[in-house]
């Protein structure tokens, strides 16, 4: 059984993760499971994406969202890759479960958009074997400063 926040080295096994989350929904007598999966696209000579994660900040950010979900009688599951992920493989999944669809749908888009804007995960492009920070596709994390 996976934790609600699951970090995996390399590409995600999406089928295994989905099955686990679906079984969790069934086991908790929930009627709604909504899953979003991010797949690495081949653009701009990229062969892979690579990810760094700062777990204490990610856990804090995720805990805030888990409380928001709990307030709506829902649970959020999230899986993300650490390290390199090839084109065509998945690096991100989120799943929301609840007794009914309303709670899930109310949280779904806001969670994913806030993840893209504020989760402390840094993305790099792998081009010709070099790891290049994806600055043009990055957003500043609220409250973050360079030291």
Q: Is 107 within 8 Å of 71 (Cβ atoms)? A: no
Q: Which residue has the higher pLDDT, 134 or 20?
A: 20
Which among 74, 67, 146 has a CA at the least distance from the CA of 108?
A: 74
Q: Residue 86 pLDDT more than 90?
A: yes
pLDDT above 70: residue 141: no
Give residue-wise pLDDT tens across range 62-85: 999 999 999 999 999 999 999 999
pLDDT at residue 2, as a whole number: 66
Buried b / exposed e over 84-106, threshold 16 CB at 10 Å, is bbeeebbbbbbbbbbeeeebbeb
Residue 1: which pLDDT band, with cuts at 50, 70 and 90?
Answer: very low
Contact between residue 86 and residue 34 where contact means Cβ atoms under 8 Å apart: no
Question: Is CATH 3.90.1170.40 correct for 5-137?
Answer: yes
Burial class (CB in 10 A: 0-12, 13-18, 19+), 1: exposed
Token digits of residue 79:
């899986």
pLDDT band at 97 (very low <50, low <70, confident <90, very high): very high
Q: For 22-52, how does the pLDDT look when each residue is reduced to its tens digit (9 = 90+)?
A: 999 999 999 999 999 999 999 889 999 999 9
């Amino acid at each position: 059984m996976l934790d609600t926040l699951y970090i995996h080295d390399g590409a995600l096994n999406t089928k295994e993760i989905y099955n686990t989350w679906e079984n969790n929904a069934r086991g908790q007598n929930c009627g709604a499971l909504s899953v979003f999966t991010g797949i690495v696209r081949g653009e701009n000579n990229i062969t892979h994406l690579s990810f760094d994660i700062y777990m204490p900040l990610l856990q804090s950010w995720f805990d805030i969202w888990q409380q928001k979900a709990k307030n709506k009688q829902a649970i959020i599951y999230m899986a993300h890759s650490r390290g390199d992920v090839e084109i065509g493989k998945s690096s991100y999944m989120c799943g929301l479960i609840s007794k009914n669809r309303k709670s899930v749908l109310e949280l779904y888009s806001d969670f994913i958009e806030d993840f893209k804007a504020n989760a402390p995960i840094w993305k790099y492009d792998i081009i010709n074997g070099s790891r290049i920070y994806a600055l043009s596709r990055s957003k500043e994390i609220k409250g973050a400063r360079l030291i």
